[in-house]
Amino acid sequence: MTEIFGKPLPVIMGQMLIGLINGSFYALLSLGLAVIFGLLNIINFTHGAQYMMGAFAAYFLLNKLGVNYWWALLLAPLAVGATGVIIERLMLSKLYKLDHLYGLLLTFGLALIFQGAFRHQFGSAGLPYSIPESLSGGQNLGFMFLPNYRAWVIVASLTVCLGTWFVIERTKLGAYLRAATENPSMVQAFGVNVPRMITLTYGFGVALAALAGVMAAPIYQVNPLMGADTIIVVFAVVVIGGMGSIMGAVVTGFGLGIIEGLTKVFYPEASNTVIFVIMAIVLMIRPQGLFGSR
């Protein structure tokens, strides 16, 4: 059997594939963060809680209303995105003129409130959510058994990430958005409703987090703290990719997932620190992040 550094090749390939799956979640979450930071200049610390709320929304839709996974993929992001719109209108919009720090503090506080409320109501052991019937089972790839659901996660995440990148970088709507971040008053003067655009952008970023939450629900327990654990890694991903860079967020998300997967083969104990080690190195060599421009 072929070996690399004393580890059999099939094991390494298996771990890389798993890294890619984890990377899908990192990419989806950091994409939302990058969109929000890029256009609003807000560091959205509520992102993890909104990811968790997406998973809970899916749970309620299934168990209270009998709405299946596929509809939840659409409805949960809409519902959680709507709460995002409310937050932006009532609170965040008051902070744009202030330092970044205020937005960070507000969203961090909101995250603690949401997590605390859900934990109070549902405990912390988590609630079960089953994999949809049509995606259960899996394929034997020879070097590993790939559950169908995980394959779906990779495909869905890549599609959403590339779609978002395309809309923002290559369409007229995206051009308005980018222009509005450079010079809002000028864009407003051309008759574009900038505040509404910003509100909807925040709602969209939040909806992305909720979408990731729905996709995560069948894999992890639906747990009030699921976002708190993940969000720290995701922030590291965004910092490495470059704050506000959409391509950076996506590429680094998948890349770091793979690196983390490989660490689990060679030195499992380090698997939850490796991303932060990379972050420290990147910040020393290229403080603006790998893809960042400012």
Partner 1 sequence: MNFKRKLLSAALLALTAGAANAQISGNVVKIGVLNDQSGTYADLAGPGSTLAAKMAVEDFKAQNKGFTTPIEVIAADHQNKPDVGSQIARKWFDSDGVDVIVDLPTSSVALAVNQIAKEKGKAAIISTGASSDLTGKACTPNTVHWTYDTWQLANGTGSAIVKTGGDSWFFLTADYAFGHALERDTEAVVLKSGGKVLGKVRHPFPSADFSSFLLQAQASKAKIIGLANAGADTTNAIKQAAEFGIVKGGQNLAGLLVFLTDVHALGLEKAQGLIFTESFYWDLNDQTRAWSKRYGAQHGGKMPSMGQAGVYAGVLHYLKAVAAAKTDDGTKVVAKMKELPTDDPLFGKGSIRADGRKIHNSYLFEVKKPSESKGPWDYYKLRATVPADQAFRPMAEGGCPLVAAK
- What is residue 23's three-state secondary structure? helix
- Which CB sits closer to partner 1, 47 or 150? 150
8 three-class SS: strand
Closest contact distance (angstroms) between CB of 14 and partner 1 is: 5
Do residues 240 and 290 lie in contact, with contact meaning Cβ atoms separated by under 8 Å? Answer: yes
Helix, strand, or coil (residue 7): strand
Nearer to partner 1, 120 or 170 (CB): 120
CA atoms within 13 A on the CB side of 217: 31
Binding site for partner 1 (CB under 8 A): 8, 10-11, 14-15, 18-19, 21-22, 119, 123-128, 130-131, 137-138, 144-145, 147, 149-150, 219-221, 223, 225-226, 229-230, 261, 264-265, 268-269, 271-272
Using the minimum distance from each CB to partner 1, give the nearer residue, 158 or 219.
219
Q: How far apart are CA 236 and CA 122, in angstroms?
A: 29
Q: How far is the CB of 272 from partner 1 (least distance, A)?
A: 5
SS3 205: helix
Quote the least distance from Cβ 217 to partner 1, whole Å. 11
CB closer to partner 1 out of 109 and 137:
137
User: Which of residues 35 and 211 has its CB atom nearest to partner 1 in the complex?
Assistant: 211
Q: How far apart are CA 49 and CA 231, in angstroms?
A: 9
Q: Compute the half-sphere exposure of residue 250: CA atoms within 13 Å on the CB side of its CA.
A: 15
- State in angstroms the smallest separation of the CB of 103 from partner 1: 26
Nearest distance from residue 281's CB to partner 1, in Å?
A: 21
Burial string for 43-72 (b: 16+ CB within 10 Å, else e) reads bbbbbbbbbbbbbbbbbebbeeeebebeeb
Smallest distance, Å, CB 284 to partner 1?
25
Distance separating alpha carbons of residues 135 and 138, to the nearest angstrom: 8
Residue number, 194 or 265, with CB nearest to partner 1: 265
